[in-house]
Every structure is written in C-alpha cells, then in structure tokens.
Chain A
Amino acid sequence: EAGVAQSPRYKIIEKRQSVAFWCNPISGHATLYWYQQILGQGPKLLIQFQNNGVVDDSQLPKDRFSAERLKGVDSTLKIQPAKLEDSAVYLCASSQLAPGELFFGEGSRLTVL
C-alpha cells in the first residue's frame, strides 16, 4: 500500500514570498490533515478535511494560509506571504476514520529567510 506522499521535501524562500505544498493521501482515506511542527514544539493542526469539506480550520492563520482539497483526494497548502515564523515542518496525514490512527507523509521542511 502506497503511503502519504508530500512534496517538496525541502523549500527555502525569503520572507514575503509565497510557497505551496502538495499532499496525496492514502487511497480511500476520507480524512486529511495538515499539521505545522515548529522546532521544539509538537505538531499543531492547521486544517482538517473530511472528503473535500473543511471540518476544522480554527488554527489556520487565514490571512496568509490557505488550503484546498479538490475532489476529495489531493490537497495543497499555500502560504502567501511567508513570514520568518512560518519556518517549520508541514506534515500531511490521512486516516480512514476521524481521527483514527494517522498515517503521515515525510513532511515538507520550510525555511523562511
């Protein structure tokens, strides 16, 4: 069974630039999550999708972050414009049930200079 795919693995940008991350969950998993993990902190949920609908985006900084999940499969997370404090690992995860066991991708490490 193929795991959760994420890209890019690494990205370095300057502040005020934009960046997008892509996630392809495990086939058949209805629930998809984006987590932000800042160094020294635990992963923090940014947004949770059930199929292509948003279940929880209460911790998503909506002035600069956006996410979509078209057709209930792949998802993209965008940051525009980026700030220094956005430097983090962005983890995508999926699950069959919400929230059963999460299956994570390898993460996208963002460095904002």
Chain B
Amino acid sequence: ILNVEQSPQSLHVQEGDSTNFTCSFPSSNFYALHWYRWETAKSPEALFVMTLNGDEKKKGRISATLNTKEGYSYLYIKGSQPEDSATYLCASRGSGANNLFFGTGTRLTVIP
C-alpha cells in the first residue's frame, strides 16, 4: 500500500484566480502518477498520466508537473472558472504493481 497525500483538502477561489494543489507520493520504486477530476454526480475523468521526472503536461488551462526524485506533483489551474469546481484526485503506481493508490483529493470551489 502506497501513502499518497494531497493538500489542501479543500480550497475556495474567486473566478479568474489561478491556483495549485500538491500531491506527494513515495519516491522509491515510482512508476506513474495520475491526476483525475471528479465533478459532483459525474464520473472521475483522467487529466494526466505522468511517468518521467521533470515531466510537465498541459490541457487547456490546467497543467501538471512531476518530481519523482522528491515524490511530488503539482496541479495548476490558470484563471479558474466555476466549471473547474470539482474534486481533484491524484494516484500513484509503484513499479511492479498493478494498481493505483489514491490520495484523499482536493475539493476546489470556484466562486463566480
């Protein structure tokens, strides 16, 4: 079992603000880091799957970075919009493992 931690637990931002959250995971035997967005009453949806140290991925206003040596990933949202309101989950997979271990998520509320 991998210990994956996310911070903050919840966050309220004003529309137009930029924000970021942190995911920390065990750096030893790292294989992959996933980010998912889970809107209320919908399915969790994959944002990024990252494997390489220093990797940076972007999808629209959302981007993520990965540091496998120190065991953390940042998710950034630029110019938050109300539709960005969701819980953002990260999950880590260790090498040789078949499954993902999830953090508890960061619940983002964007205030119009």
- A residues adjacent to B (C-beta < 8 A): 3-4, 33, 35, 40-45, 48, 55-56, 91, 93, 98-107
Q: Assess the A45–B43 pair: CB atoms within 8 A.
A: no
Instruction: Pick the 3 closest A-B CB pairs, nearest first.
Output: A42-B102, A104-B43, A104-B44
A43–B34 Cα distance when bound, in Å, is 13
B34's contact among A45, A55, A102, by CB below 8 Å, is which?
Answer: A102
Please name the residue on chain B nearest to A106 by beta carbon.
B43
Contact B89 A91 (CB under 8 A): no
CB atoms of A4 and B93 under 8 A apart: no
**Bound form: Cα–Cα A33–B101 in Å:** 12
Closest to B32 in A: A99
- Say yes or no: is B45 at the interface (Cβ < 8 Å to chain A): yes
A49 nearest CB across to chain B (Å): 11
Q: Mind listing 13 A-B residue pairs with CB under 8 Å?
A: A42-B102, A45-B100, A55-B99, A56-B98, A91-B44, A93-B44, A99-B32, A99-B99, A100-B49, A102-B44, A103-B46, A104-B43, A106-B43
Q: Which residues of B contact A104 (CB under 8 A)?
A: 36, 43-45
Interface check B59, CB cutoff 8 A = no
Contacts of B6 in A (CB 8 A): 42
Set A43, A93, A99: member contacting B93, Cβ < 8 A: A99
CB of A56, distance to nearest CB on chain B (Å) = 6
Of residues 1 through 40 on chain B, the ones whose CB sits less than 8 Å from some CB of chain A are: 4, 6, 32, 34, 36
Whether A99 contacts B98 in the complex (CB less than 8 A), given A43-B89, A106-B43, comes out as yes
Minimum distance in angstroms from A2 CB to a CB of chain B: 12
CA distance A99 to B34 in the complex (A): 10
> Which of B4, B46, B99, B101 has the largest number of chain A CB atoms within 10 A?
B99
